[in-house]
Structure 1
């Protein structure tokens, strides 16, 4: 594996890891918050999926008696006093957002022995929550709840009510997991699939139609060609005919003509065996000797052939010396005995682009 390939793979892995990290940052888990307390000799329980786990919190379950920090509802710093923590193990700290970082609040409660930390949002935020980050306070369950829910529990605790709280993981949420995105992706997938299928059907139908049209055209052309070929002059050679007495031969099968052979005379007056020339004309249309388009002369036009450009460059033969460059080029449609420069044909056979070769040739003839 080359160095460029290794660097490309490394770059791809880094990009993928960045995407995964970015996607994870957008995702969050809700928390199920259950509270129980005794009111008039009866136990009241409330249940809601109204919390959000912190970004650095483990998605574990936690339970305990709710405890407020004495004097400072924000629970900032090590001076926060959780006076009831020794009487109610395990316990959960309930603190208000603000005045310090989330990490400082969580660490302060953790140092006092809290089993979990619940942060309720600031005043005026209603039941809104946020996906709080606390990178310096890990290893403890930490969630955020709305201000209304938090103040409701704070009032009961301040009134001397023992509130038991149970925290459990809810459902994951994020741009790729929300119902809106799922619907959007489903519709997009359906549209792309339908468009791809429609395009495939259209292309397949077009190809089948073109192929069918081509076959019909070829079949029609072949039928017309057979009818046209049938109009050509056909005769049987006899002894004494010029073709049987001379060295004439069929240019298709390269065999001499004999008495009794059935031959076809083309519009260009060239003669060939009937069994040889008819398949030839169906495939190639032209006379093997003069290249005259026989079917065209008989009124059969090949539309497909007429649409093909005939302005292709002439084929050439390139003469090379092993290990060297081309010396000269000779067009195939030009006779080797033709001298376009007006010089002697024998002289033309000894022309070289390399003047050193020409000098050696002159010396050899001298």
Structure 2
């Protein structure tokens, strides 16, 4: 479900990105005019000074420049253009204002104009805008500056025939190359797909590891229960060394032994209260004092395929007498190394660890 939402969001994101990127890109137009002056000299001028409209066909066009009769802005249902030339191809030159770009272009193309040039309003210099005319897609329409447009208008009003060629210039905007945009889009989709695949893999791997760990822990707890049942359990009686010594005490609850206490003797001969040591063994399966593994000692082999370490982290167990100083401490490190106790009673009695 989350993956579907991610893909939907990506599609919406890149759909908007492509749409807006296409709107940001605009193409310039190279405008070339040719006419004969009063001295019978042919004058050729050209400049990359036009801008194709947002909905214009970006292609070449040529013809004789023609002005509308009466209103220079070319508005109205069917403005009539002054066509004194015998050339069949003609280009309409109209001024900006009074009506929409689409209306100007439609009025000219209905009468057969090969292209429409709209020059900017008075006082704007040679500035242009990226005009929008969504109702006239397919027609060649460009905008030029006011100074450039008025120069051509004066020539035409003086009776000079002006030939014009419109060539495609160069693209401009933040996305200069649409192929590069497509490449970035594909790269983004690949990155998103890879991230989702990686997330799914990591989540599945963690879930699998957690389940395997739980199965291993459950199995080891069952083995520990069986091992605990095989340990020696006895009740302390009057005269037992544990009840008469002020040094010997349960290392789990840090309390001295009393007559009638039920104790468990581990495979390493260390003694603990039965109620104290059994929960400990179910979770850790090792002696709190010497780290002896009761499962191994009783011949229960752990499944090496589980790949988990079930040993408790190194720690130090400190045995204290209530209200007194620490009597001895046992570093719980490598079980293979011999243990040395500060309390001489443990060295005198090997059977006690």
Q: Which residue of structure 2 lines up, in the alignment, with residue 320 of structure 1?
A: 221
SS at match of 2:131: coil
Call closer, same or farther: CA 1:8–1:85 in 2, change over 3 Å: farther
Call closer, same or farther: CA 1:75–1:46 in 2, change over 3 Å: same
How far off its partner does 1:5 sit? 1.4
**Structure 2: gaps (5+ residues):** 178-217, 235-248, 266-271, 280-353
In 1, Cα distance between equivalents of 2:144 and 2:161: 19
In 1, Cα distance between equivalents of 2:130 and 2:6: 35
Superposed CA offset, 1:33-89 (max 9, x none)? 000001222211001000000000111000000000000100012231114178431
SS at match of 2:30: strand
- Say how many residue pairs are matched: 207
Q: Which residue of structure 1 lines up, in the alignment, with residue 5 of structure 2?
A: 7
In 1, Cα distance between equivalents of 2:264 and 2:71: 117
In 2, Cα distance between equivalents of 1:143 and 1:119: 6
SS at match of 1:106: helix
Q: Which residue of structure 2 lines up, in the alignment, with residue 115 of structure 1?
A: 114
- Does residue 20 (structure 1) correspond to residue 26 (structure 2)? The answer is no
Superposed CA offset, 1:80-131 (max 9, x none)? 1114178431000000000000000000000010000000000000000010
In 1, Cα distance between equivalents of 2:264 and 2:148: 112
Q: Which residue of structure 2 lines up, in the alignment, with residue 159 of structure 1?
A: 158
Call closer, same or farther: CA 1:142–1:25 in 2, change over 3 Å: same
In 1, Cα distance between equivalents of 2:95 and 2:147: 12
- Does residue 345 (structure 1) correspond to residue 263 (structure 2)? The answer is yes
Shift >2 Å, 4+ stretches: 85-88, 175-178, 317-322, 336-353
Whether the aligned pair in 1 keeps the contact of 2:64 and 2:85 (CA below 8 Å) is: no
In 1, Cα distance between equivalents of 2:264 and 2:29: 102
How far off its partner does 1:344 sit? 3.6
Q: Which residue of structure 1 lines up, in the alignment, with residue 70 of structure 2?
A: 71
Pairwise CA RMSD:
3.4
Superposed CA offset, 1:131-150 (max 9, x none)? 00000011111000000000
In 1, Cα distance between equivalents of 2:13 and 2:138: 29
| TM-score of the superposed pair, with normalisation by structure 1 | 0.51
Q: Which residue of structure 2 lines up, in the alignment, with residue 277 of structure 1?
A: none
How far off its partner does 1:6 sit? 2.3
SS at match of 1:136: helix
Deviates further, 163-172 or 85-94 = 85-94
- Does residue 32 (structure 1) correspond to residue 30 (structure 2)? The answer is yes
**Structure 1: gaps (5+ residues):** 179-316, 331-335, 354-366
Call closer, same or farther: CA 1:50–1:155 in 2, change over 3 Å: same
Alignment of 1:105-144 (within 5 A): 105-144=104-143
Q: Which residue of structure 2 lines up, in the alignment, with residue 175 of structure 1?
A: 174
In 2, Cα distance between equivalents of 1:31 and 1:321: 84
In 2, Cα distance between equivalents of 1:169 and 1:32: 6
How far off its partner does 1:339 sit? 3.8
